[in-house]
Amino acid sequence: MQIFHTISDIRAWRNANQRVAFVPTMGNLHAGHLQLVREAKKHADQVIVSIFVNPTQFSIHEDLANYPRTESRDCELLAAEGCDVVFLPSVETIYAPTAQTTVTVSAVSQNYCGASRTGHFDGVATVVCKLFNIVQPNVAVFGLKDFQQFVVIQTLVRDLHLPIEIIGVPTVREIDGLAMSSRNGYLSERERICAPKIYHILQHARDNLITGKTIVDVETCAISALTHAGFDVDYFNVARRSDLQFATLNDKELIILVAAKLGKTRLIDNLWLDR
């Protein structure tokens, strides 16, 4: 496995005759990330993973300074999975001091995490666009745990006519149902015991929708249950999967989206539903 730090190294490595799959990450890798690498290997001759903690997607009050940096361990895990290249750029490599360009994907980024994390999806869209331009992959693989991010990237690729196939991989969960996340390591022992309730409440909400309860009643009941369990709820909404607009009675392909804090740790999750 090769490790590159500069754009010129990546471009010198990139072979136009090979099909390349790309997995962008912020490091601190877990089994969910490694599943993305395995999926990427199914679709390409070469797999490249980036490790870059992107400062522009963190708000002032968020945890950029404390975000875990585990590059050595991450590279060992990636090598064991058969990754071909790791791209480890500096902030200065990705964001030149004179940079003036930001990428905004408007409608699908407005609600949910976009409403409570000002500028977050501009940071995501901008860095992903930069990384796509640097790596020039044929395929890019993302986890579906952050479904709003996935839709933002899908929309970016479509609107800018980028020749990249975007593949989503289902959420990888712990045995107790908690979605794997780099931020789970922030949870205290007591919070870690409580955290899977977010998935159980999602499942209960899905079952209630199937049995015919109204969307408003389901959302209200779920928020109450999360609050009672000790979560500080950011949002709990039922949306259309196609465009992330708030779902109506007649919509069939749905996704239930949730974000909530447990102590200082912000957790997100979702569950799909067809009715």
Q: Is 200 a catalytic residue?
A: no
Query: Beta strands of 5-161 (E only): which ranges?
Result: 20-25, 46-51, 85-87, 139-143
In a 10 Å sphere around its CB, with 0-12 CB exposed, 13-18 middle and 19+ buried, how is residue 189 labelled? exposed
Residue in the block written with tokens 């708000």? 59
Query: Which of these is catalytic: 30, 33, 200, 204?
Result: 33
Shortest CA distance to 53 belongs to which of 44, 63, 61?
63
**125: three-class secondary structure by DSSP:** helix
User: In whole angstroms, what is the distance from residue 229 CA to residue 215 CA?
Assistant: 21
Residue 120: partners with Cβ closer than 8 Å, 6 or more residues away: 57, 58, 59, 113, 114
* DSSP conformation letters of 97-120: TT--------GGGSSTHHHHSTTH
Q: Degrees (nearest 5) of the Cα angle 21, 152, 155?
A: 80
Active-site residues, by number, are 33
